[in-house]
A and B are shown apart, each in its own frame.
Chain A
Amino acid sequence: MTRFHLGKGMPTRVVACLALLFSIIPAGALHAEAPLSYLVGYGMRARSIATLTWALMLISAVVVIVVVGLLLAALRRGDSFAAFAPGTQLPVARPAGGASWIYVGVGISTLVLFVMAIWTVVTLAHVANPPRTDSALKIEITGHQWWWEVRYLSPDVSREFTTSNEIHIPLKQAVEVELRGVDVIHSFWVPALIGKTDVIPGQANRTWIEADKPGVYRGQCGEYCGEQHAHMGFEVIASSPEDFQKWWDSQLNTQPGAAPEAAQAQNTFIAKCGICHTVRGIGAGGHLGPDLTHLLGRRTIGAALLPNTRGHRSAWIADPQHLKPGNYMPRLELSGPELTAVSNYLDTLN
């Protein structure tokens, strides 16, 4: 029976190295730019979730440190054996005192769990209930494979309009979001503003988003929904109520018909794109793809896939299947002049 000196300290050393690694990684990661991070919330709802999450994380870290610490201490204390020698016996005993571990450990755990269960329910009530004041603003969002249709609702029907993949909201106001599913299940998620709510066909779910700091917040589909689930992003833009109102008014404008010298481009667009896309004001009224009436006003194309530049738009039209394989916009096999015409026309959609 040999005492095992070398191996006994090994667990402590390895755990120390891993612990160091695990504290460097998060520290580095938290400093990085992370648009989908929810560790910091920018609205009442997201903030109370973030606080709860941090508390849960802190408790978790303490539990891991205490248990691993006890484990390492148990390994280092007292007698141990290096190995069994075949055919010989090692002593066995039944030392007392083990049961108190279970009483104390389980007692403390239960207490912590009880507190966190209460905190959970309180936060739940805080986050999931409608705002006290009647929300003036209501948006209807429809999840499609693989883009977001956004409809702004108003008591005055003439002030309603549809856009896509970009949601504008006024600052410091809870905006009600009605979620409609038409194909498969998606999940509406803006990490910095609100947790996930699923978009389910045949069922109307709702949630609220609010932001108290102007800015662009990234959103993403949170439920696996097929080949391009990865590229089903969107953006929420929070601005002052005045800017928001101006934006809304501008969205209501329809597109004037093209000037005669651009009529050719507009006709190409209607012929090639109008079956699926709408541009209000001209003869393009398809509903299979995003509404393009104010395309140039948006920051991205392809559901937050690429920045909205002329180059990216042309590349997209030339071969959408290359940039987003499997999406429902077919490769149109446009000739060079047709491609230029469509690109030129899109450049006018202010």
Chain B
Amino acid sequence: MTTTELDRVPEVAPRDYGSPLASKLEHLWATKPGIVGWLGSVDHKEIGLRYIVTAFVFLLVGGLEALVFRIQLAWPNQHLLSPAQYDQLFSMHGATMILWYAFPVLTGFSVYLQPLVLGTRDMAMPRLNAFTYWVYLFSGLYLYVGLALGSAPNAGWFNYVPYASRPYNPGLNIDFYALANILLGISTTLGSLNFVVTILHQRAPGMSINRMPILSWGTLTISVGNLFAMPSVTLAFFFLWLDRQFGTHFYDPPSGQPLLWQHLFWMWGHPWVYVIVLPALSMVSEALPVLCRRPLVGYTAVALATVLTMVLGFGVWLHHMFATGLPNIALAFFSAVSLFIVIPSAVSNFAWLATIWTGRPVFNTAFLFFVGFIVVFVIGGVSGFMTGSVPADWQLTDTYFVVAHIHYVLIGWNLFAVMGASYFWFPKMFGRMLDEHLGRWNFWLMFIGFNVGFFPMHITGLLGMPRRVYTYPDGMGWDTLNLIITIGSYVMAAGMLLFIVNVFYSLRRGVVAGPNPWDAATLEWSTPSPPPPYNFVVIPTLASRTPLWEDRLDEGPYRSELNEGMPLDHGKEVLGTSSLDAQPNVILRMPEDSLVPLFFALVLTLLFAGLIVKFWWLVVTCIGAGLLLQLIWLWPRSELRERRP
């Protein structure tokens, strides 16, 4: 290979976060102070936290919506809310939780943690990362503008046509939902692309694909899944918007097909269920072993089970449509796949059980949340197994049994894992521990409240209570159970409130954490807490999955090198490595902070605002402004050229 001005003699420096090298990197990577600096930041840690905080705000708002309509449902024949108000509230609750909380909160953890666990300094496309956050935030605000105007979605989160078509739903309600979803879809798709590139191309040298943390397996799997699933739902909402505003006939008979909506929606919708739980499962698989003082049992099996779940997740969408009159042969096939998708989940479940059984657990709040998670994981799993059986599903579908199931899956598999992960990674993010005493109360209130609030829904469902009813008559056998459900939901909300109290208390008063409070094994714990803007003062080199435990586990002759490595300080530089073996092959220059992503997101949102009010001049102006911003964003600059290491 001939030497060119792009080649560089590899340098090696010691790991010292107090050295002149560290101050140089700090200067290179730090976000500028002030509001402009804050708005233009492309630091993945900053953006990750914004994602998490925003998602938690949506969680609280969605939770409040539920608390309001739980009062209506606590007793029969209540009229606190009119049917129209109730319909908007339950639709907003579902949409907020599933679309604007459950996935973004996991994205937040991934954006924050992935570069750290992979041993790199930022996401592969930092400005895109900022852009996807802003678009996510604006799409949520866009939806809530609809609510403020009294035009929130009212056809449920899966928004079946023809009820969501214009003749039966003439307001702007559904248009807000359709356009907000397309906007959010842009964010989700681009964000997933960013993860795929980052995880496949920026792992620390030596972190071959079989040494990648299980956390990254979760994010990589669902990001690839998203790239296949998102086009379907975006198209579905786009067709719906065309039907509603321009008189096309994708969905209305006789020329169109109402079931086309259901196919397009669930072809995305079921994979999406796995998209919003697999990263949460992988957070448990990552953190639980640390608290059990041993590596995860069955790393390979769990990693492959994650991938297999996603793949099978694309072959079960019809189980949302068992009652639509499809041919029996299709029902039998999809029913079987829906039952067998339990197998990869069983792999993870028994891996966690074995990890606890053969380990020596540390009984702290994070551990309790993971244990509680396993309990609800199993209950949510078996209720899914029940609904996977076609004939049983003909009775169970669209009753409160399914409501119980989705809450066990979404709260159980997502929220409990997120809570545990919050207790686990909070010290890394803020340098202080969350308070353990408040944490215990937080956990027990949430766990008891959750089960008291949601378990009885299985029973009301078996007793035939349909979902999405704004009230119900007495004498159906549902009264007492519904009162218990409402009480449980308020207990759970009190637990959630304690978490917020704990966060604010611990930010000021929490015990100082130090770099590795849990004595954990992976790369993020080798950095200070919170990590400096550049993450790693020198790029680490890996020889195992557990770089910080190698000496104590005493496995094999090779050791990871964390104390010395490439400084990469000729600018904002990171190392690009090969996809499978993680061999260094390029030095990548990262862009500076920039306001362009924010402006581009604003212009895009304005464009969507123009679409809903049909101000075509605004739409055209936004397209022009967007192209201009793209030109600025993508303008080639020599200082961003790649170099060989």
Residues of A within 8 A of B (CB): 4, 7-8, 10-11, 14-15, 18, 21-22, 25-26, 28-29, 32-39, 48-49, 52-53, 56-57, 59-60, 63-64, 67-68, 70-71, 73-75, 77-84, 86-102, 104-106, 109-110, 113, 116-117, 119-121, 123-125, 127-129, 145, 179, 183-185, 187, 191, 194-198, 200-203, 205-206, 220-230, 325-326
Contact = CB atoms under 8 A, between A and B. Distances in A.
A229 B335 contact: no
B395 A195 contact: yes
Given A83-B362, A101-B353, A110 B339 contact: no
A129 to B, nearest CB: 8
Contacts of B512: 86
Contacts of A26: 459
Given A124-B390, A222-B397, A325-B83, A86 B168 contact: no
Contact of B390 (A15, A70, A120): A120
The 5 closest A-B pairs by CB, nearest first: A202-B253, A36-B464, A195-B394, A98-B297, A34-B477
Interface stretch (B195-203, B378-386, B414-422, B579-587): B378-386
B4 interface: no
A326 B355 contact: no
A185 B378 contact: no
30 contacts: A14-B447, A21-B452, A29-B480, A39-B462, A49-B392, A52-B391, A53-B395, A56-B385, A67-B378, A68-B378, A71-B374, A80-B360, A81-B363, A82-B363, A90-B293, A91-B552, A94-B553, A97-B358, A99-B354, A102-B351, A109-B342, A113-B339, A113-B342, A116-B389, A123-B389, A127-B394, A196-B394, A201-B162, A224-B155, A230-B466
Given A84-B364, A93-B553, A124 B163 contact: no
B183 interface: no
Interface residues of B, number: 115
Interface in B445-474: 447-448, 451-452, 455-456, 459, 462-472
Contacts of B501: none
B531 interface: no
Given A63-B378, A224-B468, A79 B392 contact: no
B332 interface: yes
Contacts of B335: 117, 120-121, 124
B361 A80 contact: yes
Nearest to B518: A84
Contacts of B293: 81, 90-93
Contact of B391 (A101, A187, A195): A195
Contacts of B602: none
A6 B294 CA distance: 24
A117 B340 contact: yes
B466 A222 contact: yes
B379 A64 contact: yes
A205 B297 CA distance: 49
Contacts of A183: 162, 168
A28 B481 CA distance: 10
Contact of B371 (A38, A75, A78, A113): A75
A36 B350 contact: no
Contact of A74 (B353, B456, B465, B476): B353
A105 B354 CA distance: 10
Contacts of A38: 395, 462, 464
B353 A60 contact: no
A74 B481 contact: no
B23 interface: no
B259 interface: yes
B350 A229 contact: no
B528 interface: no
A36 B395 CA distance: 10
B484 interface: yes
A87 B160 CA distance: 55
A29 B459 contact: yes
Interface in B466-519: 466-472, 475-478, 480-481, 484, 511-514, 517-519
A115 to B, nearest CB: 10
B628 interface: no
A128 B357 CA distance: 45
B468 A124 contact: no
Given A81-B363, A106-B343, A197 B519 contact: no
B532 interface: no
A29 B342 contact: no
Given A74-B353, A128-B331, A106 B162 contact: no
B146 interface: no
Contacts of B356: 71, 74-75
B91 to A, nearest CB: 9
Contacts of A64: 378-379, 382
A243 to B, nearest CB: 26
B555 interface: yes
A230 to B, nearest CB: 4
B257 interface: yes
A33 B360 contact: no
Nearest to A113: B339
Nearest to B336: A117
Given A25-B481, A222-B323, A60 B386 contact: yes
B87 interface: yes
B82 interface: yes
B391 to A, nearest CB: 5
B627 interface: no
Nearest to A6: B363
A200 B259 contact: yes
Nearest to B256: A202
Nearest to A186: B163
Contacts of A93: 293-294, 360, 553
Contacts of A120: 332, 335-336, 339, 389-392
Contact of B346 (A49, A106, A325): A106
B72 to A, nearest CB: 11
A56 B358 contact: no
Contacts of B399: 222
A185 B468 contact: no
Interface string B429-456: 0000100100010001001100110011
A34 to B, nearest CB: 3
Contacts of B468: 224, 229
Contact of A56 (B392, B394, B397): B392
B132 to A, nearest CB: 32
Given A49-B391, A120-B339, A201 B463 contact: no
B564 interface: no
A52 B389 contact: yes
Q: Which of A4, A92, A93, A198 has the most CB of B within 10 A?
A: A92
Nearest to A33: B477
B168 A184 contact: yes
A91 to B, nearest CB: 6
B82 A325 contact: yes
Contacts of B444: 10, 14
Greatest chain A CB density within 10 A among B293, B374, B466, B519 is at B466
B339 to A, nearest CB: 5
Contacts of A57: 386
A48 B155 CA distance: 33
B594 interface: no
B385 A79 contact: no
Contacts of B2: none
A102 B253 contact: no
A8 B160 contact: no
Given A25-B484, A92-B552, A196-B397, A228 B83 contact: yes
Contact of A67 (B353, B398, B517): B353
Interface string B289-331: 0000111011001000000000000000000000111001001
B254 interface: yes
A185 B160 contact: yes
A227 B87 contact: yes
Contacts of A205: 324-325
Contacts of B347: 102, 106
A81 B362 contact: yes
